Amino acid sequence: MPGAPSGLCSSTLSRILHRAGCKVEAASGLTLCLTGIAAERVEWGRLMPGRHGALMILATLFRKFIPWFCCAALLVAAPAVVSRTYKWVDENGLTHYSETRPAGQEAEELSSGSRPSVKAADGDDCSSLVCRAARLESERKQQQRAEQEKREAAAKAAAATPVFPTPVKETDDEKIARLVAECKRSRGSKCDSDEEKRRMLLQNVDLTQAERRALRGLSPTQQRRALNQRIPKRYRNID
C-alpha cells in the first residue's frame, strides 16, 4: 500500500517531535511535507526506457522511502535529545543535582536541554552540561558559605582573646618562694634565713617607671626606707 508508510511515519514523527520539545506548528509542517513527498505515485508504464528511465525510477523510490529514513533517524536520536535535570535537598540540607528523580525525595525539574549528553564518570548521575553547570554553581556557593563561616568564627575567637593579657599578680609568699628557689640553685641553704630573704625582697621590689625616677632623686638612706615599706611587714626593718 503506497500510503501506509506515510500514515505510520506521520503518527510516529509527531510523537517523537512532541517528546523532543518541538513546537506543534513545526511538527505538523514537517510531517505534511514528508507525507506529500511520499504520496506521489509513479505510473511505471509511462516511464521512458533507457538510462533516463532508470534514473527516474531511482529518484521516485528515494522520494517514496524518505519518511521511513526520517522516522528511523529520529528514533535513534530521540534518547540523546531529551535531557532533564532535577534539583533536590537531602536530610542534611545539602543541595544536589541529578538527571534522575531521587526516590523518596521532593525534586524540582530545572530544564530540558537540547544538547547531547557527555560521558559521565562511574557512579555519577549528572552527565549533561546543564546538570554539571548547576552542580558546579551549587558547590561554589557552598564553599563560599563555609569560608564565610570560618572567617566569622576566627573573628569571634580573636575578639574574645585580649591582645595584651592581664598578668596574674604574684602573692608575697609566692614571690618569696620563687626568690629562695632561685637563690638555692647558686648558694644552697644560705638562702633560708630571714635576713637573706629580706635582702632578696629589697632587691626585687616591683616599681613603676615613675617610682624608679623618683627613687633616683633620694639619698641612699631615703631609698632604703622607701623600699622597706614595699616588702612584707614581717621582713621590714624598724628604723
Residue showing cell 638612706: 221
% of the chain with per-residue pLDDT over 90: 4
Answer yes or no: are the C-beta atoms of 83 and 128 closer than 8 Å.
Answer: yes
Measure the CA–CA gap between 87 and 194, rounded to whole angstroms. 82
DSSP 47: S
User: If you count them, how many residues does the chain have?
Assistant: 239
> How does pLDDT run across 54-87, given as a tens digit for each residue?
566 666 656 666 666 666 666 555 544 455 777 8
Amino acid at 106: E
Whole-prediction pTM value? 0.29
Write out the H or E segment, with its range, that includes residue 132: helix 129-160
Residues contacting residue 50 through CB under 8 Å, at least 6 positions apart? none
Write out the H or E segment, with its range, that includes residue 111: strand 107-113
**Number of neighbouring beta carbons within 10 Å of residue 173:** 9
Q: Is the pLDDT reported for residue 42 higher than 60?
A: no
- Identify the CA nearest to 158 among candidates 147, 146, 166, 150: 150
Residue 128 in grid coordinates: 549533561
pLDDT value at residue 32 = 47
Residue 131 in grid coordinates: 546538570
